[in-house]
A and B are shown apart, each in its own frame.
Chain A
Amino acid sequence: MFIYRHKLPTRIMHWINVTCFIVLFMTGLNIFNAHSALNIGKSSYNGLAPVFEIKSRQNSKGELIGVTNILGYEFNTTGVLGASTGPNGNMIKRGFPSWLTIPGPKWLAMARHWHFFFAWLFVINGASYLTHSFLSKHVQRDLLVNKKDRASFWQSVKDHARFKHPTGEDAIPYNVLQKIAYLSVIFILLPLIILMGMAMSPFLNSLIPGWVDLFGGRQTARTIHFIVAWLLVGFVFIHVFEVIITGLWNNIRSMITGQYYIDTSHKKGQ
């Protein structure tokens, strides 16, 4: 039996969001490459070493190697971070490799044009999603954690660990972990990444002088922006994984046409 799962505006906004996220992430990495270090504090030069840095240097044989430093621990990341294959097939100095960035080459000005255009689209789309989802009661009905969810929390954890998912009519509502994941992304991670992006703007800093220090200063904000971007990538990986194991085509169809198939043949008591 087919049910109508996702409303048209939700579906449209979902795919706009996908596009925005991919572009923002990949242009963001291009922007990061212009200064491939992350610091804590108000400035980058405050006597504290970067908490994360991608560098390159020559090894004893004179070859270019890529090195990534995380909280003082160094890793050789040649080939991916710090040094990767350039246009002529030789190793070049580069933070993130060109296959992860938009545009492919090092091009800060163009990456910024892309990033800010899609940032506006992303914010407008996000605001429309929130408005629509509250007015249509999507948040209240489908996303908020209810009594039943709280009771099923540990069972849901166990089920997820065994890759076991509700079927039939039980698959219609979101499960509790799914709800928590969506709520965290919608109400914590996405607003935070937008705010931390705004915290890097010298003009927006001036509107309420000092607000950026509530988050530890501009360089801390840049670091948080970067970390949240990767947390969102982590969410996307889990999300896509769950989509695949709970019925790839059924899930994708429901996000394109709205139609979601549920198997009612095993209904109990009938």
Chain B
Amino acid sequence: MLGGLLVPAVINGLALGAIYALTALGLTLIYGVLHIINFAHGSLLMLALYAALFLYTLGGVDPYVAILVLMPAFFAAGYVLQRLVIQPAWHGRDENVLLVTLGLAIVIDNLALWLWTSTTRSIDSRYAFEVVDLGVAFIPIAKLVGFFGALAFGALLWALMTFTDLGKAIRAVAREREGARLVGVRVEHIYAMTFGIGTAMVAAAACLLLPTFYVTPQVGYAFVLVAFTTVVLGGMGSFPGALFAGLLLGVVEALCGLYLGESLGQIGIFVVFILMVLFRPTGLFGARA
């Protein structure tokens, strides 16, 4: 009886996966260059969701328009965080950076709790219930926008990395830190730029996610584990990999949810991940990264 739901489930999985991909894009960039697992990623997503929410409720700014404001703002925040908080604690020990980002996550989450309380908030934008009829299912407009938006931002990031001097410098640092320094690249600046760009991508993801989701101080955790998984699955540091892996995981989750039930279906993502890592540890696109 579930056969008729297969196509809509796949479509929905792709829409969900696009959001996973977008959150993972920032994470994979940061991992690829700084070699750190950023535990604060989910918290930054939460912060961006609140920012978009307040822009809408207090300023009447549409979340999609808010991207124009929030991406630069979060870029700056990411840059400053890396420069002033993360870099000074590095001391050449990557495990310290891990804990610093964990500490940041604790601070950000609880600051949000203190400032905005744990009330669930969401926006009821005018297109919240507008859908496109695909015959087999209705697709909310907001999800379609999220899907194509994620693809667009993925392409944008790829173009940035491939065609600009900044992109070249970032790639040089990722590949050979000391070599890049020798040829005059300001490595610390590049690190902070990378963290800033990664954070800006989170802001974009938040703006695309908000119309179909809700905000609480804990909301980041709903996405952060999947984002980690997406990064590794795609091959650490690979953008096409993260994009593809995000979409794949969205579909895997939707299908497992359909056939195993949403509760047991959660393991789908992790089982795919484990098998993948064991049998192709470089990730889907790892060799190219």
Q: Are these two chains actual partners, yes or no? A: no
Residues of B near any A CB (own CB < 8 A): none
